[in-house]
Amino acid sequence: MISQNIPTPAKALAIGAHPDDIEFGAGATLAKWAANGCEVSLLICTDGSKGSWDPSTNTNELTAIRKSEQRVAAEELGVLGEIIFLDYIDGELHAGVKERDTVASWIRKLKPEVLLSHDPWKRYRLHPDHHNAGQLAINGIVAARDPFFLTDSSLYPHRPSELFLFEPEECDHLETTDGYEKKKLNALESHKSQYLSTMGITEGNETKGLEDFRERIRKELIAFGDLTGKGMAEGFKRITEL
């Protein structure tokens, strides 16, 4: 059975592997919640320094550009909470104890009701950072909720009520997003450094490329929306036993 539309949470934390991942997976949902009073925060695990196909790219400059783009994208979504960059090297993210404790500390500090991240159990996933970011989110919840983790920390344990995994292997929850697809698109299009490598938008053909990209995103939203019988939606694996 597929559930739909939880009440707007007071606080939500989305954890993504790279700048732009959260917008792809949950941008319209976060925009909807933010518009209805949710304090949304974003945690980006890696620096995005490998997000180019041009071998002459200065990776330090690219990292700075991608952080700037992420902040603009967050504005487009209406994010009023924290925007956190952990700055692990792109392509080298590990789901180790040190990384887990960092994520758990942010969960304890921000106290989200709902946490969103990549589905680490998605089959045939190519990018290891997506898998590891999702695993860190899950491991971070365990460490954040239980008192015998982070014993040298002054932060009190916190247990989120729900976990939403985007890019789900098995979708069992939908958030309808009618009226918020434009905010998702605006946020995604803020990541101009990713036009070629992620969105397939080539220099000199930007108008057509953007049209094709927007249509691709709309089709994805409509495909999930069809599961509700109408409109647009984003799909998640919803876990409530945390």
Domain boundaries, the chain: 8-239
User: How confident is the model over 148-180, as pLDDT tens digits?
Assistant: 999 999 999 999 999 999 999 999 999 999 999
Q: What is the pLDDT of residue 202?
A: 85
pLDDT attached to residue 204: 82
Cα torsion at 152, 43, 77, 239 (round to 10°)? -80
User: What pLDDT does 1 receive?
Assistant: 86
Mean pLDDT per 10-residue section of the chain, whose length is 242 residues: 96 99 99 99 98 94 98 98 98 98 99 99 94 99 98 98 98 97 98 90 86 95 91 98 96
Cα 91 to Cα 44, 51, 58, 94, 96, distances in angstroms:
13, 10, 16, 9, 15
Residue with tokens 């909807």: 32
Judge residue 117's burial from the number of C-beta atoms within 10 Å of its C-beta, 0-12 exposed, 13-18 middle, 19 or more buried: buried
**pTM score over 0.95:** yes
Pick from 131, 129, 156, 175: nearest CA to 27: 175
Start-to-end C-alpha separation, the chain:
20
Residue pLDDT, tens place only, 189-218 = 999 999 988 888 888 888 898 999 999 999
Dist CA 199 CA 17 (whole Å): 17
State the chain's mean pLDDT as an integer.
Answer: 97
Residue 196 is predicted with a pLDDT of 87
- Write out the CATH class of domain 8-239: alpha beta
193 touches 59 (CB < 8 A) = no
